[in-house]
Chains A and B, each alone.
Chain A
Amino acid sequence: MSWITGVGLTPFGKHPGRSTLDLMSEAAGAALDDAGLGRHDVDGLLTGYSTTFPHLMLSTVFAEHFGLVPTYAHAIQLGGATGFAMAMLAHHVVESGLAKNVLVVAGENRLTGQTRDAAVQTLAQVGHPVYEVPFGATIPAYYGLLASRYMHQHGNTERDFAELAVTMRRHAAGHPGAQFHDSIDADQVLASKPVASPLKLLDCCPVSDGGAAFVVSRDRTSDFAVRIRGTAQAHTHQHVTAAPSLTEFGAAASTRAAMQAAGIQLGDVDYAAIYDSFTITLAILLEEIGLAPRGGAGRLAAEGHFSNADGVPLNTHGGLLSYGHCGVGGAMAHLVETQLQMTGRAGTRQRGTPGVALLHGDGGVLSSHVSLVLGREA
């Protein structure tokens, strides 16, 4: 058994002058305080990576900087799925007895630590260097390709995608740490600058500075702990050119396996945290997982289904689309918000008190999938 005993999250947006280690430290300190633990209690450490601070051994660089002497530490890399993959690994490290308290931490000055072109080019390298990148492909272009095929198959419209962006922005308005607070409507999303059709600027998450952390523990060290009940992964390809399908990915298999491990059904889920790098990402994942019918995610969003406790509240902090995306910490913010919702600590954003949450992240171009089921009760 493992518990998420503490969470920490910085505001996302611009943090000029603050480094990867600064942002990691701020988030880690907040998570340890929340868990009621000190540095000496941390015997396990997991980190991801930072594009502005590439290092062969980020975990031990951070351990030295922050003042940790763990008996288990390393970094892992799985693109956008890294944060949830670290949660899954921390769960198994704790369950196996390797460590009692695993600190999972990420941070990056992705926005102010490099030029926008450098960020775009670094991210585009998840494409194939010989067979994809030479076409001037970018991450939005890879997802634009998916979107074109998905719309062709399932009949989603650009307005459906826009409704998801509108919902994430409305949620972000309730979180002081979100990068964007100004409300938007579907017409504004549709009229925003073209990036890679059918995706416009407001269909895309921003680049952000920020940090996020959580502690996975054997014991309930705090009054605010939620249990990790089930975890699973699925990996079908790396490059979009090699994807077995542009309309069916690993999300269904991964969430099914995680729910089976947790002993729950999809109908038991009363909070969802789903990766939303682009509106199309969110639409595909919601629909493949079954939280919306095929072609129906935008309609459900417009009806408020993902905003109210009588539906399935989704990314109530605003998601990557509006809270922001600082790399590995981006999806970890989804987990932080889930933990706050399940422990009744989300303030004005609180939607009921969710008992069972489903989290799903993807890395690459819907290539790598990680699912988590969290529960409020033991």
Chain B
Amino acid sequence: MNPEILDWTEGTEGIALQQCGDCRHAWYFRRDFCPACGSRTLIRKQASGLGTVHAVTLVARAPSEALRPYAPYAIALVDADEGFRLMAHVVPEARIGDRVRATFHAFGPATVPLFVLEG
């Protein structure tokens, strides 16, 4: 593991991906093997935070009292430039196909990616 990699799921402001050292497959959900070929030769990388909106929804009904004050909030699936897809918050004006860039914001107990329009 590379300690300099920033990863929001570990409390630091960054997006991490994994890539297979053998078949080059890139993915997001962390594991200790390549889900495409089974190889255990992995590279953990820092994503650029740049991507394209693939799908988006504006959530009006939060799932809990703690998150109610944040609603409405927009959730997107973003295709990262490195070739993997991730879920994140996005500014509500973002549309499918828009180029976006990751920032981070506090949401309930966590700090999570919030993508803003790029350029």
Binding site for B on A (CB under 8 A): 117, 120-121, 124, 128, 130-132, 134-138, 140-141, 144-149, 152, 193-199, 239-242, 246
Are A131 and B108 closer than 8 Å at their CB atoms? no
Are A246 and B54 closer than 8 Å at their CB atoms? yes
Are A194 and B107 closer than 8 Å at their CB atoms? no
Chain B, Cβ-Cβ closest to A119: B63
**11 A-B pairs whose Cβ atoms sit less than 8 Å apart in the complex:** A130-B29, A137-B87, A141-B57, A141-B75, A146-B55, A149-B54, A194-B60, A194-B61, A196-B61, A197-B60, A240-B77
Are B112 and A135 closer than 8 Å at their CB atoms? yes
Cβ contacts under 8 Å, A152 to chain B:
55, 96
Is residue B50 within 8 Å, beta carbon to beta carbon, of the partner chain? no
Chain A, Cβ-Cβ closest to B60: A194
Beyond A140-B59, A145-B75, A149-B55, 4 additional pairs, beta carbon < 8 A: A134-B108, A194-B61, A194-B72, A197-B60
Are B96 and A134 closer than 8 Å at their CB atoms? no
Beta-carbon contacts of B26-68 to A below 8 Å, as 1s and 0s? 0011100000000000000000000000111111111111010
Cβ contacts under 8 Å, A146 to chain B:
55
Are A131 and B29 closer than 8 Å at their CB atoms? yes
Cβ contacts under 8 Å, B9 to chain A:
130-131
Beta-carbon contacts of B94-115 to A below 8 Å, as 1s and 0s? 0010000000000110101000
Question: Which residues of B from 61 to 96 have beta carbons under 8 Å from A?
Answer: 61-65, 67, 70-73, 75-77, 85-89, 96
Among candidates B60, B87, B96, residue contacting A148 with C-beta atoms closer than 8 Å? B96
Task: Give chain B's interface residue range (CB within 8 Å of chain A).
Answer: 20 to 34
A291 vs B55: C-alpha distance in the bound complex, in angstroms? 25
- Minimum CB–CB distance from A133 to chain B (whole Å) comes to 9
Are A241 and B28 closer than 8 Å at their CB atoms? yes
A130 vs B73: C-alpha distance in the bound complex, in angstroms? 19
- Minimum CB–CB distance from B69 to chain A (whole Å) comes to 11
Chain B, Cβ-Cβ closest to A124: B63
With A128-B29, A136-B70, A136-B107 as contacts: A246 and B77 at CB distance below 8 Å: yes
Cβ contacts under 8 Å, A195 to chain B:
59-61
A299 vs B69: C-alpha distance in the bound complex, in angstroms? 38
Chain A, Cβ-Cβ closest to B89: A135
Chain A, Cβ-Cβ closest to B114: A135
Among candidates A128, A130, A138, A246, residue contacting B55 with C-beta atoms closer than 8 Å? A246
Chain A, Cβ-Cβ closest to B9: A130
- Minimum CB–CB distance from A13 to chain B (whole Å) comes to 21
- Minimum CB–CB distance from A239 to chain B (whole Å) comes to 8
